[in-house]
Amino acid sequence: MTEHVLKINNLRVESVSGLVLVDNVSLELKKGEVLGLIGESGAGKSTIGLSAMSYARAGCRITGGEVLINGTDIRKQDAEGRRDMRGKRIAYIAQSAAASFNPSHTIMDQVCEMPIQHGLMSKDEARKWAIELFTSLGLPNPQTFGDRYPHQVSGGQLQRAMAAMAISCRPDILVFDEPTTALDVTTQIEVLALFKKVVKEYNTAALYITHDLAVVAQISDRIMVLRHGKMVELGTTEQILQQPKEAYTAALVSERKAADHIAEDVKVEHNEPLLEVKDVRASYGSFEVIKGVSIAVAKGETVAVVGESGSGKSSMARMITGLLARTSGTVTFKGKELAPNYKHRSREDLQRIQLIYQLPDVALNPRQTIGEIIGRPAQFYFGMSPAKTKERVAELLTQVGLPVDYAGRLSTALSGGQKQRIAIARALAANPELIICDEPTSALDQLVADEILKLLKKLQDELGLSYLFITHDLGIVRRIAHRTAVMLRGEIIAQGPTAQIFNPPFHPYTENLLASVPEMRTDWLTDVLAKRQQKTA
Partner 1 sequence: MKIFGYKPTLSAWVGIFIVTFFLVLAIFAPWIAPYGEAETVGRTFGRSSAEFWLGNDNIGRDILSRIIYGARTTIGVALVTTILSFTIGTIAGLMAVVGGPVIDQILSRFVDIMLSIPLLVFALIVLSMFGSSIPTLIMTIAILDSTRVFRLARAVSMNIAVLEYVEVAKLRGEGLWWVMRKEILPNALPPMISEFGLRFCFNFLFVAGLSFLGLGIQPPLADWGGMVRDSGKAISFGLPAPLWPAMAIALMTIGVNLIVDWILSINARPSGASAEM
- What's 337-361 look like in SS3? ECCCCHHHCCHHHHHHEEEECCCHH
List phi, psi (to 5°) of 162: -70, -35
Nearest CB to partner 1, comparing residues 145 and 357: 357
Q: Which residue lies nearer to partner 1 by CB, 267 or 367?
A: 367
Residue 352: closest CA among 448, 457, 251, 436: 436
d(CA 368, CA 410): 6
Query: In terms of CB distance, is 99 or 362 closer to partner 1?
Result: 362
Residue closer to partner 1, measured from CB, 380 or 509: 380
Beta-carbon neighbour count of residue 331 at 10 Å? 20
Q: Which is nearer to partner 1, 239 or 379 (CB)?
A: 379
**Alpha-carbon distances, residue 148 vs 108, 109, 143 (angstroms):** 8, 10, 11
b/e map 122-146, b = 16+ CB within 10 Å: eeeebbebbbebbebbebeebeebb
Regarding 377 and contact with partner 1 (CB under 8 A), the answer is yes
- Nearer to partner 1 among residue 211 and residue 326 (C-beta): 326
Nearest-approach distance from CB 346 to partner 1, in angstroms: 8
* Dihedral angle, C-alpha 261, 262, 264, 267, nearest 10 °: 160
Considering only CA atoms, which of 15, 170, 195, 176 is closest in space to residue 100? Answer: 176
| Piece of 44-52, 170-178, 279-287, 365-373 that binds partner 1 (CB under 8 A) | 365-373
Among 368, 415, 442, 500, contact with partner 1 (rule: CB under 8 A): 368
Positions 408 through 427 that interact with partner 1 (CB under 8 A) = 426
Question: x-or-dash pattern for partner 1, window 56-75, by CB under 8 A?
Answer: --------------------
Q: Is residue 342 involved in binding partner 1 (CB under 8 A)?
A: yes
The candidate with the shortest Cα–Cα distance to 318, out of 293, 349, 282, is 282
Examine residue 338 and tell whether it contacts partner 1 (CB under 8 A): no
Which residues within the stretch 236-275 sit at the binding site for partner 1 (CB under 8 A)?
none
Residue 201: CA count within 13 A, CB half-sphere: 13
Q: Which is nearer to partner 1, 251 or 359 (CB)?
A: 359
Asked if 288 and 298 touch (Cβ cutoff 8 Å), the reply is no
User: Stretches 20-28, 46-54, 374-382, 395-403: which one binds partner 1 (CB under 8 A)?
Assistant: 374-382
d(CA 295, CA 475): 21
- Return the number of the residue (97 or 428) whose C-beta is nearest partner 1: 428
φ/ψ of 357, rounded to 5, equals: -95, 170
Collapsed DSSP state (helix, strand, coil) of residue 58: coil
Whether the CB-CB separation of 115 and 126 falls below 8 Å is answered with: yes
* Largest CA-CA distance found in the chain, in angstroms, rounded: 76
The residues, any chain, with a CB within 8 Å of residue 59's CB and separated by 6 or more, are 15, 16
The SS3 of residue 35 is strand
Work out whether 442 is an interface residue with partner 1 (CB under 8 A): no
Q: Which is nearer to partner 1, 160 or 345 (CB)?
A: 345
Note whether 359 binds partner 1 by CB under 8 A: yes
CB of 379 to partner 1, least distance (A): 11
- Which residues inside 275-334 make contact with partner 1, applying CB under 8 A? 321-323
Which residue in the set 31, 75, 170, 376 belongs to the binding site for partner 1 (CB under 8 A)? 376
Distance of closest approach, residue 285 Cβ to partner 1, in angstroms: 14
Of 1 and 16, which has the nearer Cβ to partner 1?
16
In the bound state with partner 1, the residue whose beta carbon lies nearer, of 189 and 320, is 320
> Can residue 362 be called a binding residue for partner 1 (CB under 8 A)?
yes
| Contact residue for partner 1 among 149, 202, 248, 380 (CB under 8 A) | 380
Find the binder of partner 1 among 365, 398, 412, 503 (CB under 8 A).
365
DSSP code per residue over 226-276 = EETTEEEEEEEHHHHHHS--SHHHHHHHHHHHHTTS--TT------SEEEE
Residue 396 interacting with partner 1 (CB under 8 A): no
**Cα separation, 301 vs 286, whole angstroms:** 34
| Total chain residues near partner 1 (CB under 8 A) | 24
Task: Report, in Å, the least distance between residue 341 CB and partner 1.
Answer: 11
- Check residue 20 for interaction with partner 1 (CB under 8 A): no
Q: By the criterion CB under 8 A, which residues form the site for partner 1? A: 321-323, 342, 345, 347, 350-351, 355, 357, 359, 362-368, 376-377, 380-381, 426, 430
